[in-house]
Chains A and B, each alone.
Chain A
Amino acid sequence: MIEVLTTGAANSIQDLGRNGRFDIGVSRSGAMDRLSLMIGNALLGNDLNAAGLEIAIFPFRLRFDQPTRFAVTGAEGDVTLGGRPLPPRWAASAAEGETLVIAPPEKGARVYITFAGGIEIEPVLGSRATDLKSGYGGLEGRGLRRGDRLTVAAMPPMRAFGAALDPFAMLDFANPLPVRAVPAAEFSVFSADARKLFSRWSWRVTPEADRMGYRLEGPELKLERRLELMSHGILPGTIQVPPSGKPIIQLADANTCGGYPKIATIIEADLWIVGQAGPESRFLFTEVTPDEANAALRRQRLEIDALARTVAVARSLAG
């Protein structure tokens, strides 16, 4: 077992989310930065979909009641185990009674803690992810509270090691973050100016940014003509433009249907960047084709597979 000592209610249990029930209004949920959750799971030899903790409110503290293998990935900052610092993207063993402390990150917005074997909790609708909006999955559909005790596997100690895969190396939060997007259904109905601004402006993330979506600040994106759209399915990454002209990125816990015009859809391979961008971060959008979107995702999966293979070899060598 592990026990949560310090947390905020926006911290929650997440895996890669729910699929297959969009047709009855069930959101995908799951980690906002799926890439970091997968790296954390790969480091431990887990199924990539194993449930871990998504930490967005800091400081976060937990105590291990048993020897446990875990990894900390995602946003970078001060992480200590029993007072000893841990490097970023690092897997280690905790002894019984040790405390893991995660300070507010210096780079990125969300930290992931994964555990060998994953957090043991009943899946709901095929996933252990917490849907905070609809109130199911994870721990009774709610965020973590002080005193929560979670079941994870007890494991003998192992030698600590880190991931060679470092997606954060390319992220410079001092400058606009490059994010690729495929033009969406109403793209051509936006004015020529709006279409240009979309990929030239550096869009600022407002404080209205959570697991449901991010509101962006920038110039007003105008339509060439008025549109009355009927409700239609939308996916995480959809960039809607409501009548205010200010874009909204729909994310993990977003509604599955919407009615606002859509200018573009952020590609799956870059959604993790959005998940790591807090308020005041800026995005620079680049338009890509569906083929480019899929090639980027394929490359990311190959990198994760390679990491998982390296970990398997390293563990067999370590005996």
Chain B
Amino acid sequence: MREPITISFSGGSALLLQSNSSRFDDQFQKRIWSLASDLTSAPGFIETVPGMNNILALFDPEQIAPEEARRELTDRWAKAQPLPRRGKTVEIPVVYGGQNGEDFKPWSRHCGLAPLEAAQRHAAGTYQVAAIGAMPGFPYLSGLDPALAIARRSTPRLAVPVGSVIVGGAQAAVMPQTSPSGWHIIGHTKIALFDPHRDEPSTLAPGDIVRFTIEDVWL
């Protein structure tokens, strides 16, 4: 039951291992975490960037030649067992709708739900951090109720404010900083997800469990 993968070079000193499927798979992601942890002690490998069902592995070509690195990555992937990681649980209180959640009502309509019901279903879910990336501290969360999925906006907003609780496709997330985004803004939280001056700058790590709680709902 090995899913097909592709390994390719990203320049002269990095390899991208990715699933050939376009659907996110939890078990596959657990193997990605396992591979990331294994690569920290692999000679010549210097850094990994776990993504969604993929991983970018950076190596030092002075220590390991590109083709040798590719073989090493292939071998280690074959041996990678799903890492049943369950990190800390982080509660994120959300004010749904209102000024800071301007897509809340159109989103609940799209889902065919009353606004309060949509908020309750969003808050009822158990989410897991699959990966952190794109911008500092940005969590890619799996576990969104499929009934709450919504295609991304055709035109991204140039500035989605920090703290925005957002939905894009089958994924949920929270904005750690003000940035452009094509995801829908359904609410807002005051929780800071990133502080470069902390010992551990990112509040969340892969494997962490996220629960949204309802602080308020603007109907």
A185-B6, A232-B52 known; A290 and B13 CB under 8 Å?
Answer: yes
Q: Sorted from nearest, which 6 A-B pairs have the closest CB atoms? A: A293-B12, A233-B49, A233-B56, A257-B133, A228-B22, A290-B66
Interface centre among B58, B194, B196, B201 (most CB of A within 10 A): B196
Given A134-B135, A231-B140, also A23-B47 (CB < 8 A): yes
Minimum CB–CB distance for A236 against chain B, Å: 9
Q: How many residues of B contact A (CB 8 A)?
A: 47
Closest B-chain residue to A125, C-beta based? B196
Which residue numbers of A lie inside 8 Å of B, CB to CB? 19-27, 124-125, 133-137, 182-185, 187, 227-235, 237-238, 255-258, 262, 265-268, 289-294, 297-298
* B213 contacts partner chain A, Cβ-Cβ < 8 Å: no
Q: How far is the CB of B86 from chain A (nearest CB, A)?
A: 19
Residues of chain A lying within 8 A (CB to CB) of residue B135: 25, 133-134, 255-256
Q: A24-B202, A232-B51, A257-B51 are in contact. Are A268 and B136 (CB under 8 A)?
A: no
Determine which of B16, B61, B137, B177 lies in contact with A232 in the assembled complex, contact meaning CB atoms within 8 Å. Answer: B16
User: A297 CA to B131 CA in the complex, in Å?
Assistant: 31
10 interchain pairs, CB-CB under 8 A: A23-B49, A24-B133, A137-B196, A182-B12, A185-B8, A228-B22, A231-B140, A265-B9, A290-B13, A291-B66
Most chain B C-beta atoms within 10 Å of own C-beta, residue among A23, A228, A230, A234: A230
Nearest Cβ on chain B to A201's Cβ, whole angstroms: 21
Contacts A228-B22, A255-B135; A22 near B11 (Cβ below 8 A) = no
At the interface, yes or no: B132 with Cβ under 8 Å from chain A?
yes
Chain B residues near A20 (CB-CB < 8 A):
47
- Cβ of B77 within 8 Å of any chain A Cβ, yes or no, is no
Which residues of B line the A interface, CB within 8 A?
6, 8-14, 16, 18-19, 22, 24, 36, 47-56, 58, 61-62, 65-67, 131-138, 140, 176-177, 179, 194, 196-197, 201-202
Contact B52 A230 (CB under 8 A): yes
Q: Are B196 and A230 in contact (CB under 8 A)?
A: no
Are B136 and A134 touching (Cβ within 8 A)? yes
* Partner pick for B11 among A21, A228, A235, CB 8 A cutoff: A235
Q: Which residue of B lies closest to A227 (CB)?
A: B22
Residue on A with the closest CB to B61?
A294
Assess whether B11 is in contact with A256, with CB atoms less than 8 Å apart.
no
Q: Besides A20-B47, A187-B8, 19 other CB < 8 A contacts? A: A23-B48, A23-B50, A23-B132, A24-B201, A25-B138, A25-B202, A124-B196, A125-B201, A135-B177, A136-B197, A185-B16, A229-B18, A231-B52, A232-B52, A234-B56, A256-B133, A291-B65, A292-B12, A298-B62
Q: Which of A133, A227, A231, A294 contacts B131 (CB 8 A)?
A: A231
- B134 and A255 contacting across the interface, CB-CB below 8 Å: yes
Contacts of B50 in A (CB 8 A): 23, 233
Contact of A290 with B18 in the complex, beta carbons under 8 Å: no
CA–CA, A227 and B137, complex, Å: 27
User: What residues on A are CB-neighbors of B201 within 8 Å?
Assistant: 21, 24, 26, 125
B134 near A25 (CB under 8 angstroms)?
Answer: yes
**Residues on A with beta carbons closer than 8 Å to the beta carbon of B179:** 133
CB-nearest residue of chain B to A295: B12
Cα A73 to Cα B6 with chains together (Å)? 42
Contact, CB under 8 Å: A233 / B177: no
Of the listed residues B53, B62, B131, B194, the one surrounded by the most CB atoms of chain A closer than 10 A to its CB is B131
B146 to chain A, nearest CB (A): 16
Task: List, in ascending order, chain A residues with CB within 8 A of B14's CB.
Answer: 235, 265
Inter-chain CA distance A133–B141, complex, in Å, is: 23
Task: List the A side residues contacting B202 at CB < 8 Å.
Answer: 24-25
Knowing A23-B48, A23-B49, A23-B50, the reply to whether A234 touches B12 (Cβ < 8 A) is no
Establish whether residues A238 and B138, one from each chain, have CB atoms under 8 Å apart when the complex forms. no
Q: What residues of B have a CB within 8 angstroms of the CB of A19 in the complex? A: 47
How far is B133's CA from A286's CA once the two chains are assembled, in angstroms? 30
Complex CA gap A297/B62 in Å reads 11
**In the bound complex, CA of A255 to CA of B181 (Å):** 12
A49 CA / B80 CA spacing, docked (Å): 37
Give the docked Cα–Cα distance between A72 and B85 (Å).
51
